[in-house]
């Protein structure tokens, strides 16, 4: 290719190494919308012709850390094969196209999907930020490769999640180069991302995505780019108010993760609105427990905990955090940095209740004063852990109601590795799922399935109205026989009282 003597001159820090790798400052970075047959099947649509979008050359990097805007949360990865142009190409044929390619390498088409609403299709903001197109770490010479026999693999935290070959591309690599050149002059150093296989999904801050491209050279030698490793981090730089703000919708979660939209629509639905919150706050936990028992749900109490705020009540939506037993190598990879614990607390919303699985082991802290402060600042309704709490006196003063198994001065790493968040966990003998409704008072903590909550609250209110009537009759001297529970005679009196009250209102 035509190499510049100083290809990285003027590049932002994230792009400088990538431009050096290419040996030229690329003028253009292209990306395919859908390239592989399996990806088309996953998306439910197969393109009749190749489709592309442009990414700025400043989005290139050689991996490492990509820093994304504050307030964003839907981060997608897409392992891809990148084609690097070596000679000018304009209106070249399919047969001649590969001769204009200098090299192939690995690429990761990162995306911030909660910014796609403003420019979906162009993907400029959601995929064009600095550092959002990692490539490398090595270039494989195109003249030594069969363009129909190049493989790409992607790993998320060491687990293989994508694997495919150019043999299954809808449009071959030569066809892609030829197609782009029909209207656009391709120049040395230009990069073409050729689409991602099935399995592209989301990653959380601190997780590592690795992409590798391999091929058997025409002379039989096995070639590899090596693994291109990238992590993402949410930065401190917030978007100004005149910029399009993040919108983490169910549609974008589904698009980024490859999972059914129904999963995210259910999670997005505001089950616990102000009316339901007020209803659940007005009835005793014992009444709610009885209603759940009538429905066959006996294992919905989080047991063995005490509250930092006796006499207070929590009603909120579960956000779950899972700790696994400490293992030194796993704590090294998952315990430091922006781990699952910190990611969860930074993403709390008003009314959330953090529920922590610590396996009932209270011989170290599972949270402390800093996280309690963060929870208070973000409006969390409460904290629940079946492990210990560090800085217990200070956490109590901070005021966020915290149910716990005792205080302990030891740090998290003595016993626990923060492993994952927002998945099904076990806490205090109860299964808790993200989105469950958590209600706590002096009697303990209950887990209420969201689908039952409104019906359960209405029934509990009616039941407590009955019990107030019964209590008044007992206080007036009536025996409990026939009154508790009410027989037909007392039931008729009660219904007459309700009718009288309704008429008065």
Is there a single domain that holds both residue 376 and residue 441? yes
Centre a 10 Å sphere on the Cβ of residue 475 and count the other Cβ atoms it contains.
8
Say whether both 179 and 100 belong to one domain. Answer: yes
Report yes or no on 479 lying in a domain: no
Q: Quote the pLDDT of residue 494.
A: 84
**CATH code of residue 137:** 3.90.850.10
Residue pair 303/429 in contact by the 8 Å Cβ criterion = yes
> Side-chain half-sphere of 63: how many Cα atoms within 13 Å?
21
Strand extents, DSSP E, 45-165: 52-55, 60-61, 64-70, 75-77, 79-85, 101-108, 111-112, 133-141, 150-156, 159-165
37: nearest Cα among 201, 196, 168, 152: 168
Closest CA to 453 of 343, 324, 261, 315: 315
Please report whether residue 354 resides in a domain.
yes
Q: Of 308, 317, 390, 312, which Cα lies nearest the Cα of 354?
A: 317
Domain with residue 333: its CATH number is 3.50.30.40
For the CA atoms of 395, 400, 406, 407, the dihedral, rounded to the nearest 10 degrees, stands at -10
274 among annotated binding-site residues = no
Domain termination site, one of 399, 421, 448: 448
Q: According to the annotation, is 183 in a ligand binding site?
A: no
Looking at the structure of the chain, the number of domains it has is 2
**Is 391 known to sit in a ligand binding site?**
yes
Question: Structure pTM?
Answer: 0.59
Is residue 245 located within the same domain as residue 311?
Answer: no
Check whether residue 336 and residue 433 sit in a common domain.
yes
Same domain, yes or no: 169 and 80: yes
Last-in-domain residue among 191, 223, 257: 257
Please give the structure tokens belonging to residue 454: 């409104």
Determine, yes or no, domain membership for 1: no
Is residue 99 classed as helix, strand or coil in its secondary structure?
helix
Which helix (DSSP H) or strand (DSSP E) does residue 277 occupy? helix 274-281
d(CA 135, CA 108): 7
Q: Give residue 284's pLDDT.
A: 92
Q: Which two tokens stand for residue 406?
A: 């005792």
Q: Is 363 annotated as a binding residue?
A: no
The contacts of residue 499 (CB under 8 Å, 6+ apart) are none
| 475 domain residue, yes or no | no
Give a yes or no: residue 286 inside a domain.
no
Sheet holding 60-61, edge to edge: 52-55, 29-32, 191-193, 79-85, 101-108, 133-141, 60-61
Query: Which among 21, 18, 23 is positioned nearest to 6, based on CA atoms?
Result: 23
Is 502 contained in some domain?
no
Structural domain includes residue 153? yes
What pLDDT, on the 0 to 100 scale, is given for residue 6?
Answer: 56
- pLDDT of 3 reads 42
Regarding whether 233 and 334 lie in a shared domain, the answer is no
Domain-embedded: residue 348: yes
Is 313 annotated as ligand-binding? Answer: no
Bridge partners of 186? Answer: 89
Same domain, yes or no: 34 and 166: yes
| Same domain, yes or no: 115 and 236 | yes
Q: Are residues 90 and 204 in the same domain?
A: yes
pLDDT at position 261 is 75
- Answer yes or no: are the C-beta atoms of 340 and 437 closer than 8 Å: no
C-beta of residue 149 within 8 angstroms of C-beta of residue 282: no
Structural domain containing residue 175: 13-257
**CA–centroid distance for 395 within its chain:** 27
- DSSP annotation of 418: E
- Residue 249, pLDDT score: 80
Q: How many CA atoms lie within 13 A of 403 on its CB side?
A: 32
Average pLDDT across each block of 10 residues of the chain; the chain has 505 residues. List them in order. Answer: 53 85 93 95 91 96 92 93 97 97 98 88 92 96 97 96 97 98 97 97 94 96 97 86 83 85 61 91 93 94 96 95 93 86 90 96 96 95 97 97 96 93 93 94 94 92 88 90 86 83 67
Q: Which of 223, 257, 291 is the last residue of a domain?
A: 257
- Residue 377, judged by CB atoms within 10 A of its CB (0-12, 13-18, 19+), counts as exposed
Indicate whether 85 and 182 sit together in one domain.
yes
**Could you tell me if 252 and 376 lie in one domain?**
no
pLDDT at 5: 45
**Same domain (yes/no): 141, 243:** yes
390 annotated ligand binder: yes
- How far lies 423's CA from each of 167, 319, 322, 356, in Å? 37, 8, 8, 11
């Amino acid at each position: 290719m035509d190499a510049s003597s100083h290809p990285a001159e003027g590049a932002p820090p994230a792009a400088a190494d990538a431009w050096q790798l290419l040996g030229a400052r690329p003028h253009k970075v292209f990306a395919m919308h859908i390239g592989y047959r399996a990806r088309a099947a996953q998306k439910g649509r197969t393109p009749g012709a190749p489709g592309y979008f442009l990414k700025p050359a400043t989005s290139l990097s050689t991996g490492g850390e990509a820093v994304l805007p504050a307030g964003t949360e839907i981060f997608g990865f897409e392992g891809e094969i990148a084609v690097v142009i070596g000679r000018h190409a304009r209106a070249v044929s399919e047969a001649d196209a590969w001769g204009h390619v200098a090299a192939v390498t690995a690429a990761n088409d990162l995306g911030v999907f909660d910014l796609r609403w403003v420019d979906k299709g162009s993907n400029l903001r959601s995929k064009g930020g600095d550092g959002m197109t990692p490539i490398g770490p090595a270039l494989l010479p195109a003249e030594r490769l069969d363009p129909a026999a190049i493989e790409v693999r992607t790993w998320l935290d060491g687990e293989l999640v994508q694997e495919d070959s150019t043999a299954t591309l809808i449009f071959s690599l030569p066809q892609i180069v030829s197609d782009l050149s029909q209207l656009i002059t391709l120049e040395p150093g230009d990069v073409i991302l050729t689409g991602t296989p099935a399995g592209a999904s989301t990653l959380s801050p601190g997780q590592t995505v690795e992409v590798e491209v391999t091929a058997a050279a025409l002379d039989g030698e096995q070639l590899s780019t090596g693994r291109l490793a990238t992590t993402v981090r949410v930065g401190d730089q917030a978007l100004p108010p005149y910029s399009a703000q993040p919108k983490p919708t169910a549609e974008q979660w589904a698009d980024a993760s490859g999972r059914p939209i129904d999963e995210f629509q259910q999670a997005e639905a505001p089950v616990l609105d102000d009316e339901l919150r007020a209803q659940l706050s007005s009835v005793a936990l014992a009444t709610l427990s009885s209603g759940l028992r009538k429905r066959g749900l006996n294992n919905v109490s989080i047991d063995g905990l005490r509250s930092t705020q006796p006499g207070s009540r929590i009603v909120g939506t579960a956000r779950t955090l899972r700790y696994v037993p400490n293992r030194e190598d796993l704590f090294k990879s998952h315990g430091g940095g922006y781990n699952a614990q910190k990611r969860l607390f930074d993403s709390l919303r008003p009314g959330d209740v953090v529920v922590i699985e610590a396996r009932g082991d209270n011989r170290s802290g599972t949270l402390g004063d800093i996280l309690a402060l963060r929870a208070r600042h973000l409006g969390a309704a409460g904290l629940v852990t079946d492990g210990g709490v560090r800085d217990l006196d200070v956490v109590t003063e901070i005021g966020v109601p915290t149910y716990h198994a005792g205080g302990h001065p030891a740090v998290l790493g003595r016993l626990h590795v923060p492993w994952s968040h927002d998945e099904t966990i076990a806490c205090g003998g109860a299964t808790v799922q993200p989105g469950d409704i958590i209600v706590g008072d002096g009697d303990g903590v209950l887990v209420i399935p969201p689908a039952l909550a409104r019906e359960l609250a209405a029934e509990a209110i009616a039941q407590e109205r009955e019990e107030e009537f019964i209590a008044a009759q007992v206080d007036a001297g009536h025996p409990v026989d026939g009154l508790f529970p009410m027989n037909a005679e007392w039931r008729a009196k009660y219904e007459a009282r309700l009718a009288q009250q309704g008429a008065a209102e």
